[in-house]
């Protein structure tokens, strides 16, 4: 109804702090039921939350544009055009999110940082612009923020950037160092290498993707290295020194100190719940040792009328989890109150390298450790005759691997590195949730030519393991 520049105190049925996926979904439903809703967002650049503004949507846009660049296209010019196109999409989504709520009679969008003054009230703004907003029910949906590791010189360096700063800068870094080889770091490594940057990834673990089975991690690493990404695993970055031509990353590897000169440094060790400034103590809301808002399986905080959704509650940091959080909260507010985080089964995840790597369920090593007798169905994409889409689009890199319970024929998990893996994994996840057998998935009729019909081929060639055995590595 009103933007955040207006003054005056407000009372609402529902106050949502943060414009992310979970909170805005609950807000829309409750507003549709006639409830008075107020959404507070710290920044006018974040209407709609992290995903459409600085997360999923712009980064996947850059994935798309980076892959369209031909060797003859000037790297800097192509990158600058790509950033402009991605920003245009972002602006459309941002304004669309704002207008969808601000043009609704019983919803107010207020812009500014929120600070609790008691369990039912927050202050937004300062001085004459300060307004108090109280509500019967409050959702904390403030998301997460980048973690900058405590490395001497890193924070002070003029060449250190955040993921947000990197994707908004129209200048392509010629030499990019990424500190952290997790999903965020590897995704950015893949994007910027395709745009033409020299990319070096520093990972403290002995290998990247250490949680995955060795065969899966090796395929993913081979693809990244094959594209020219320099992965320095088993390294410890000890210092950043600014120099006339950029910065030097000082690191230890194999007991030796070495240095690498770069233009831009992206710390990518992960993200932490964004609770700074909320003054949660005044609300009587407890936090965990890691700084997340403490919640129960129904996402209630230590105050029964306050819920925490999305990254801020310390759960998995994915937009799809935030959406499911909204379902749990809505069931508490308008339903039977039975839905909880314990209902989640087979949540898929995707690393958007190219081709993407998508996983769901148990890894082979975890299934064996849990005592399952397993069959493994695995094939390199290049050897899957029944997947003509891969050679048709000239993307035959990757692997499909299924972990199957040898006694029940149920699918326990899968790792898919292939064209369309981010879509294929959803079919596998659905099969796991509903107890569809590997035989059923193998014998299903899929459209042709499609990537899904690879299941016909891969699942026809599974090996049996009679006894639990440790996975390699």
Please give the chain's pLDDT, 473 residues, in tens. Answer: 344 444 579 999 999 999 999 999 999 999 999 999 999 999 888 888 888 888 889 999 999 999 999 989 999 999 999 999 999 999 999 999 988 898 889 999 999 999 999 999 999 988 878 999 999 999 999 999 989 999 999 999 999 999 999 999 999 999 999 999 999 999 999 999 999 999 999 999 999 999 999 999 999 999 999 999 999 999 999 999 999 999 999 999 999 999 999 999 999 998 999 999 999 999 999 999 989 999 999 999 999 999 999 999 999 888 999 999 999 999 999 999 999 999 999 999 999 999 999 999 999 999 999 999 999 999 999 999 999 999 999 999 999 999 999 999 999 999 999 999 999 999 999 999 999 999 999 999 999 999 999 999 999 976 544 444 444 44
Q: How far, in Å, CA of 179 to CA of 147, rounded?
A: 11
Q: What is the C-alpha to C-alpha distance for residues 95 and 97, in angstroms, rounded to an integer?
A: 5
**Cβ 356 vs Cβ 376: under 8 Å:** no
pLDDT score, position 463: 53
Q: Tell me what pLDDT residue 126 has.
A: 82
Question: Whole-angstrom Cα distance, residue 201 to residue 186?
Answer: 8
Number of Cβ atoms within 10 Å of the Cβ of 169: 14
**Residue 415, H or E segment:** strand 411-417
Residue 3, pLDDT score: 44
349-464, which class in CATH? Answer: alpha beta
Equal CATH topology for 10-145+272-343 and 349-464: no
Q: What is the pLDDT of residue 473?
A: 44
Give pTM, 2 decimals. Answer: 0.91
Q: Is 448 a catalytic residue?
A: yes
Q: Determine the pLDDT at residue 5.
A: 40
10-145+272-343 CATH, one of 1.10.3720.10, 1.10.600.10, 3.50.50.60, 3.40.190.10: 3.50.50.60
Q: What CATH number has the domain spanning 163-269?
A: 3.50.50.60
C-alpha 77/C-alpha 172 separation (Å) is 9
Domain boundaries, the chain: 10-145+272-343, 163-269, 349-464
- DSSP H or E run through 107: strand 107-111
Q: State the pLDDT at residue 221.
A: 97
């Amino acid at each position: 109804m009103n933007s955040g520049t207006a003054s005056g105190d407000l009372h609402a049925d529902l106050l949502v702090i943060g414009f992310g996926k979970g909170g805005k979904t609950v807000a829309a439903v409750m507003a549709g039921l006639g409830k008075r809703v107020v959404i507070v967002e710290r920044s006018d650049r974040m209407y709609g939350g992290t995903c459409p503004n600085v997360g999923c949507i712009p980064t996947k846009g850059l994935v798309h544009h980076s892959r369209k660049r031909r060797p003859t296209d000037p790297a800097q010019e192509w990158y600058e055009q790509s950033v402009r196109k991605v920003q245009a999409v972002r602006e459309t989504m941002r304004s669309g999110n704002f207008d969808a709520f601000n043009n609704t009679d019983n919803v107010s969008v207020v812009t500014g940082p929120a600070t609790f003054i008691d369990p039912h009230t927050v202050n937004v703004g300062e001085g004459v612009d300060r307004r108090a907003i109280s509500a019967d029910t409050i959702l904390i949906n403030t998301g997460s923020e980048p973690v900058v590791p405590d490395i001497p010189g890193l924070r002070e360096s003029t060449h250190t950037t955040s993921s947000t700063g990197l994707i908004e800068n129209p200048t392509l870094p010629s030499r990019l160092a990424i500190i952290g080889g997790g999903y965020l770091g590897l995704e950015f490594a893949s994007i910027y290498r395709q745009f033409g940057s020299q990319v070096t990834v520093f990972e403290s673990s002995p290998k990247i993707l250490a949680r995955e089975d060795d065969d899966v991690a090796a395929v993913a690493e081979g693809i990244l290295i094959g594209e020219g990404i320099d992965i320095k695993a088993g390294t410890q970055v000890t210092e950043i020194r600014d120099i006339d031509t950029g910065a030097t990353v000082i690191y230890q590897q194999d007991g030796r100190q070495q240095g690498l000169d770069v233009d831009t440094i992206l710390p990518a060790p992960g993200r932490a719940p964004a609770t700074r400034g909320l003054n949660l103590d005044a609300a009587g809301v407890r936090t965990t040792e890691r700084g997340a808002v403490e919640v129960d399986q129904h996402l209630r905080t230590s105050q029964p009328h306050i819920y925490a959704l999305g990254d801020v509650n310390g759960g998995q940091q994915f937009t799809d989890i935030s959406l499911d959080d909204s379902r749990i909260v809505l069931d508490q507010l308008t339903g039977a109150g039975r839905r909880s985080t314990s209902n989640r089964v087979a949540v898929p995840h995707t690393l958007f390298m190219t081709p993407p790597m998508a996983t769901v369920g148990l890894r082979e090593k975890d299934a064996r450790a849990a005592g399952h007798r397993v069959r493994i169905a695995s094939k390199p994409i290049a050897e899957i005759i029944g997947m003509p889409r891969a050679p048709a689009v000239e993307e035959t890199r990757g692997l499909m691997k299924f972990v199957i319970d040898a006694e029940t024929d149920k699918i326990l998990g899968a790792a898919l590195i292939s064209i369309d893996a981010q879509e294929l994994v959803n079919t596998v996840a659905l099969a796991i949730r509903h107890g569809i057998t590997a035989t059923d998935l193998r014998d299903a009729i899929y459209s042709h030519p499609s990537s899904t019909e690879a299941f016909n081929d891969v699942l026809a060639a599974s090996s049996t393991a009679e006894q639990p055995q440790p996975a390699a590595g």
